[in-house]
Copies of this chain bind each other. A is one copy, B any other.
Amino acid sequence: MKSEEFILNTPSLSAYKWWPGGLGQTANVAIVMAQLYIKGKHYGLHPFLVRIRNAQTHLPEPGVDVGEIGPKLGLNGVNNGFLGLKDVRIPRKQMLMKNAEVRPNGRFVKGPEPLLTYGTMVFARVMIVRDVSFGLLQAATIATRYSAVRRQSPIAVDQPEPQILDHTTQQAKLFPQIAKGIFFRIAADVVWLIYQSVAKELGAGQRRNLPELHALSCCLKAYCSAEAEEAVEILRKSCGGHGYLRSSNFPEIYGAVTAACTYEGENTVLLLQTARFLVKQYVDGLKRKVLPSSVTYLRNATPPKWGKSVELKTLVRLLEYAATESVRSAFEYQKKQRKIFKSEPMVTNKAGIRLIQSATLHARAFLARNASEEAEKLRRQLKPALAEVLVQLTEIFVLDLCLAMEQLKTRFERLLEEFRVNAVTVVDGFDFSDRVLGSTLGCYDGHVYERLLAEACQSPLNEEPVNQTFQTHLKPLMQGKL
């Protein structure tokens, strides 16, 4: 303390930090979140600026154990690192003291409650919804184009084999993913606007709308990343064996999209956060309080009437009703558990499955309402022919969310048939360049087989006409000399 220094330690291997991007060989300073102890007393988690590599030599500083974490499922271009610290001393001033302060005499002074840290996480999560929608749309572009080139399994008698895009089962794999990519992107844009307005309010010290935004960004990040991950794999497999080739670029896209299920808040944890908000709002609703706009439906959801022709807004209300019922079930179950367990975290734990279902259904309801409302706005700005395509996509998106229902099947099948003619044009309209898609299967010109062979020929195994392993292994084996 006399030297006005902090001493940083990671006392066990499980205290090592893992994963920050650029930490492995690149960064030379790090902001370290550490438990603060002063004279043996614990003051919680605080941020410290720590030099981890020498500014001149780039060698790790004494006491710093830093390196790269090794190969991963994807994103191998990111220099993810691990960091261990042993008796690393830093000047007192290198504690980031905006929200809490340690005085030269060792006195700890707490500042006002931090508002904006929350906001930063929201920002990252909205960005993730955008990112995964791009990955999804790229995969959809590749699969749709390939399905227009690849021909298999006769449908009509005496006709050549059809484009596989003409198979209903193939359409059912592709078209809902196109719609998802589009409406996830639109949802991200809408939440982005909400974020900007809430950030402005936060700047003025007003945090009233933060919980709603936080809850919304949590469940959308979780739901959209999980759906996009699944969608990319459906699309990859829709290309058969060739989708399994790295040169299709599906494995790379998958690696990036599935990572989003885990980083910036693991999906299950995020859904539980949204669920806590939903249950609280549901209780407020029972007390007839006014609820934030994205959850107003929790107050007065009723099973919608089911006529002969079902309008889109009826389906939206159906999804909202399902979400409300799920929140109610979680709430009731928690009440029961509270009679058995004293600890509130234990009550949450026991209700975990139901809470996660609530948050998931809330995300679906929000996405459906948002899709139908935004499409309605966009439609008015479009030429009729284009507006029709947008309506098709909106219906495919919302019906896909409700598809457990037998009654909607015929309509869904009809939609697939109608959208067939627009599919290739729509994905072309996403305007991903061949370089961005990086796929042998998905180029604009449709020259799939030339690219596949050209790419295969670049495999190192094909460099020599006879691989050296013939001499070292195969020949001795064939001659019985192994």
Q: How far is the CB of A262 from chain B (nearest CB, A)?
A: 5
Q: How far is the CA of A154 from the CA of B343 in the complex (A)?
A: 10
Main SS class of interface, A: helix
> Contact at B353–A168, with CB atoms within 8 Å?
yes
User: Which of the residues B70, B237, B452 comes within 8 Å of A262, measured between beta carbons?
Assistant: B237
- Of B19, B71, B246, B343, the residue contacting A459 (CB under 8 A) is B71
A350 vs B452: C-alpha distance when bound (angstroms): 31
B16-A453 in contact (CB<8A): yes
- A295 nearest CB across to chain B (Å): 22
For A352, what are the chain B residues with a Cβ–Cβ distance below 8 Å? 167-169, 172
- Those of A425-462 within 8 Å (CB) of chain B: 449-450, 452-453, 455-459, 461-462
* A353-B244 in contact given A26-B474, A459-B71, A470-B58 (Cβ < 8 Å): no
| A41 in the interface (beta carbon within 8 A) | no
Min CB distance, A30 to chain B, in Å? 15
- A-side interface residues, number (CB < 8 Å): 93
Q: How far is the CB of A400 from chain B (nearest CB, A)?
A: 12
Min C-beta distance of A59 to chain B, whole Å: 6
User: A45-87 toward B: CB 8 Å interface, digit per residue (1/0)?
Assistant: 0000000010001111000000111111110000100100000
Q: Which of A6-34 contact B (CB under 8 A)?
A: 12-14, 16, 18-19, 24-26
A353 to B459, Cβ gap below 8 A? no
Interface-central residue, A244, A356, A406, A474, by most chain B CB under 10 Å = A244
Contact assessment for A24 and B466 in the assembled complex, using a CB-CB cutoff below 8 Å: no
Distance from A391 Cβ to chain B, minimum over Cβ atoms (Å): 21
Q: Which residues of B contact A266 (CB under 8 A)?
A: 237, 240
Residues of chain B lying within 8 A (CB to CB) of residue A60: 465
Nearest residue, chain B, Cβ from A466: B58
Could you tell me the distance in whole angstroms from the C-beta of A345 to the nearest C-beta in chain B?
Answer: 5
Is A409 touching B262 in the complex (CB atoms < 8 A)?
Answer: no
- Is A233 an interface residue when CB atoms closer than 8 A count as contact? yes
A263 to chain B, nearest CB (A): 7
Considering the chains assembled together, what is the distance between the CA atoms of A26 and B247 in angstroms? Answer: 22
Q: Mark A343-373, 1 if CB is under 8 A from B, else 0.
A: 1011001111110100000000000000000
A238-262 interface code vs B (CB 8 A; 1 in, 0 out): 0011111111001100000011011
What CA separation (Å) do A456 and B25 show in the bound complex? 13
Decide if A404 is an interface residue (CB 8 Å cutoff): yes
Q: Check A157 for interface membership: any CB of B closer than 8 A.
A: yes
Would you call A156 an interface residue if the criterion is a C-beta within 8 Å of the partner chain's C-beta atoms?
yes
**Distance between A146 CB and nearest chain B CB, rounded to angstroms:** 12
Q: List 19 A-B contacts (CB under 8 A).
A: A13-B449, A18-B242, A24-B462, A25-B469, A58-B475, A69-B456, A70-B246, A73-B250, A73-B251, A82-B456, A155-B346, A155-B349, A167-B352, A168-B351, A169-B352, A243-B262, A244-B259, A329-B409, A354-B409
The 8 closest A-B CB pairs, nearest first, are A13-B449, A169-B352, A168-B352, A68-B461, A71-B246, A70-B459, A25-B467, A67-B462
Given contacts A73-B250, A244-B258, 6 further A-B contacts (CB under 8 A): A70-B455, A71-B247, A73-B246, A167-B352, A172-B352, A353-B412
